[in-house]
Amino acid sequence: MEYERVLVTGASGFVGSRVVEQLTLAGHLHVRAGYHRAARAARIARLGVELVATDLLDPQSLRAALEGCDAVVHCAYGTEGAMRETRAVTVRGTATLAALARSAGVRRFVHLSSVAVWGFGARPPSIDETLPPSPGRHAYASAKAAAEDALSAEAARGLPVVVLRPTNVFGPHSRFFTVALIEALRAGGPALIGDGRTPANTVYVDNLVAAVIAALKRPEAVGETFIVSDDDGGTWRDLYEAYAAMGSPPFSIHSITEAEHRALRARRLRLSDLRADLRALARSPEAGQLIRAASERPALRRAAGRLLRGTPGGRDRVRAWGVRPSTQGPSPPAPPGPSPELAQLQLANVRFRSDKLRKALGWEPPVPFAQAMRLTEEWLRFSRLP
């Protein structure tokens, strides 16, 4: 791999950080790490790499970031603000970066897309790269698909593009497929919808980085699109069982039906309204007067403490007036179950195939599931999460 310097965009994010770590610590390349917010760059700042503030909507910052770079690994996408803003970063930002990269003579542009370009609706049970994208109206999916379209235009003008479409990326620092799942298990609420026998379509973060390195290295990758999935036959139940085993004692996995999940989400919405009303009430001057009066009467003091502790925000008020009820407050609200997006993923009986990546680039996931889970568990323990 002969590159002078590789620009990694989104370098402070989950995947981008690990790309920078791998390229740097394994001694592959000179890396320039493009980050959006300095506050989030603590992980890559450890590495002593060249750090550069970039804004995908600011061509001047992109020109500066690209200077002297002959390869790009584009991990950045819009994550902040309203839907219109995130889409602009993902789509317009990618188009701008690609155009500037072509002008700058970049010799390889590896784009981190997503299997979300096939949307979350009805799909065939087995998907490979021959199936045209059909993102539907989901904001993230349609933005990722549009970003690929923008790249195609630059590829047609001569930019050597490789598109990677990873599946559900897990491992250390993964918010969606590691931290959120372990937190759901720890909370003890519903985690799985149905029997969990649908494909989890996971890819360990380092296996994805191996695909990035192959895409940088192999000439035959140029102009191609690859699904990146460990494609190991693992199901959602397998994934949850691996996380559940990390608890001490192991966490229980609670399953609910799809109908129960829908009902739970609807109830959750109503409860959130109620909590907001109670919070406002607990913070009102009238509530303060009530508790002050109650705290002067010993018989009421304990009861008032218990009452106010039962309201969100009330616990602080109780402490402020020196009431010390000895009983515990009410249990926290029931966990809501999987998010709508996670529910859709769990319910989809779809397998994303990585045969093309294996055949064309000789990629095999270097980290098997058991090792990936062991390392993930070590990180989770370091982070005090299980």
Partner 1 sequence: MKIALVGCGAAAEAVHIPAIARIFSPGDVVLVDPDRQRALELARLLGGGEVVGSHGRVRTEAAIVAVPNDLHANVVTDLLSAGVHVLCEKPLGRTAAEASAIAAAAPLGIVLGVAHFRRFFPSLELLKELLDRRFYGRPVRFEAEEGFVYAWAHSGFMLDRERAGGGVLIDLGTHVLDELRHLFGPLELERYQDDSHGGVEADCRLQLSAGGVPGTLELSRTRTLGSRLLVECEDGLVSGSLARGAPILVADRHGTSHTLEVDKEVAGEDGGYLAAFERQLRLFLDAARSGSPPPVPASDAIAVAEFVDACYSTRAQLSQPWVFETLIGVSAV
Query: Which chain residues interact with partner 1 by CB under 8 A?
Result: 1, 21-22, 24-26, 28, 37-49, 51, 53, 171-172, 206, 209-211, 213-214, 217-218, 319-320, 322, 324, 361-363, 366-367, 371, 375-376, 378-379, 382-384
C-alpha span between 267 and 260 (Å, rounded) = 10
CB of 227 to partner 1, least distance (A): 16
* Contact criterion met (CB below 8 Å) for 219 and 290: no
Tokens of 284: 């009102």
What is the torsional sign of CA 44, 49, 54, 56? negative
**Closest CB to partner 1 among 49 and 169?**
49
Tokens of 74: 């584009």
**Closest CB to partner 1 among 248 and 326?**
326
Is 228 in a helix, a strand, or coil?
Answer: strand
CB of 310 to partner 1, least distance (A): 19
Q: Tokens 């394994």 belong to which residue?
A: 26
Determine whether 242 is exposed, middle or buried from the number of CB atoms within 10 Å of its CB (0-12, 13-18, 19+).
buried
**Closest CB to partner 1 among 135 and 160?**
160
**Closest CB to partner 1 among 157 and 175?**
175
Query: What is the distance between the terminal CA atoms of the chain, rounded to a whole angstrom?
Result: 39
202 contact partners, CB below 8 Å, separation of at least 6: 167, 168, 169, 170, 177, 229, 230, 234, 239
**Closest CB to partner 1 among 252 and 289?**
289
The residue type at 175: R
CB of 275 to partner 1, least distance (A): 21
268 contact partners, CB below 8 Å, separation of at least 6: 336
CB of 320 to partner 1, least distance (A): 5
C-alpha span between 170 and 191 (Å, rounded) = 17
CB of 363 to partner 1, least distance (A): 6
C-alpha span between 50 and 66 (Å, rounded) = 12
Query: What are the start-end ranges of the E strands in 65-137?
Result: 71-74, 108-112, 126-127
Is 98 in a helix, a strand, or coil?
Answer: helix
How distant is the alpha carbon of residue 231 from its chain centre? Answer: 19
**Closest CB to partner 1 among 39 and 122?**
39
**Closest CB to partner 1 among 206 and 231?**
206
**Closest CB to partner 1 among 37 and 292?**
37
The residue type at 369: F
**Closest CB to partner 1 among 152 and 379?**
379
CB of 294 to partner 1, least distance (A): 18
CB of 265 to partner 1, least distance (A): 26
CA angle 230, 231, 236 (to 5 degrees): 95
289 contact partners, CB below 8 Å, separation of at least 6: none
CB of 108 to partner 1, least distance (A): 14
**Closest CB to partner 1 among 249 and 332?**
332
C-alpha span between 9 and 18 (Å, rounded) = 12
CB of 288 to partner 1, least distance (A): 12
CB of 175 to partner 1, least distance (A): 11
